Amino acid sequence: MELQIDDSVLVKDYINGEEKALEILIHRHNQRITSFIYSKVMDRDVAEDIFQDTFIKVIKTLKKGTYSEEGKFLPWVMRIAHNLIIDHFRKNKRMPMFQGTDDFNIFSVIGDEKLNAEKQLIKDQIDTDLNMLIEELPEDQKEVLLMRIYQDMSFKEISENTGVSINTALGRMRYALINLRKIIDKHNIILTN
């Protein structure tokens, strides 16, 4: 059976300058402390950071000679780790970091509404083409279409502004669209986005 030196003996040795004792202590409690931190933060890299900070505190306290052997070594280290975990969450609360998991990806909910450069170019091209096509329409139809689509007016407002009935405005809009389609077909224009 392998003889295991007690934690308190190792701590004393370390305080007396035996550096190897620290290595034994770290290796002995590595899994327990790391697993404890990991179970709280659920991030491997953060767990590593907190583990490192925990032992830096341990080293400083032991070297300064302010460690008092009141309790056991492991619960003391765990308490330091616990406090650092709380600090980590407090810091994150001010500046939260969100990481997607396999189940849920934040980018499926929020996204950039803007078109990418290529799509924006295509859209601009279509808009220009469409303006040129609209110019080909008869004046009365063009007027209704511009008011409805570009000025976002209702047919009631259009009829009031142009002095024709709502039905006439509706009819002109209908013919404007039919004629646009005809021009597009006639010239084999492809408008896609």
**Of these, 7, 51, 81, 143, which contacts another protein (CB under 8 A)?**
51
Burial class (CB in 10 A: 0-12, 13-18, 19+), 128: exposed
* Secondary structure string (H, E, C) spanning 101-116: CCCCCHHHCCCCCCCC
Cα separation, 169 vs 144, in Å, equals 6
- Residues 55 to 74 in contact with another protein, rule: CB under 8 A: 55-56, 59-60, 63-65
Q: Which amino acid is at 79?
A: R
Site for another protein contains 52 (CB under 8 A) = yes
Site for another protein contains 125 (CB under 8 A) = no
Size of the site for another protein (CB under 8 A): 26
**Of these, 35, 120, 154, 167, which contacts another protein (CB under 8 A)?**
35
> Cβ 14 to another protein, closest distance in Å?
8
Of 37, 135, 119, which Cα lies nearest the Cα of 86?
Answer: 37
**Of these, 31, 68, 99, 116, which contacts another protein (CB under 8 A)?**
31
| Length reported for the chain | 193
Between 5 and 121, name the residue whose CB sits nearer to another protein: 5
Other beta carbons less than 10 A from residue 68's beta carbon? 8
Cα separation, 51 vs 77, in Å, equals 10
> Cβ 60 to another protein, closest distance in Å?
7
Site for another protein contains 9 (CB under 8 A) = no
Q: Which residue in this structure is represented by tokens 């969450």? A: 89
Cα separation, 101 vs 105, in Å, equals 6
Which range binds another protein by CB under 8 A, 20-28, 113-121, 130-138, 149-157?
A: 20-28
Residues that bind another protein (CB under 8 A): 19, 22-23, 26-27, 30-31, 34-35, 38-39, 42, 44, 47-48, 51-52, 55-56, 59-60, 63-65, 101, 103
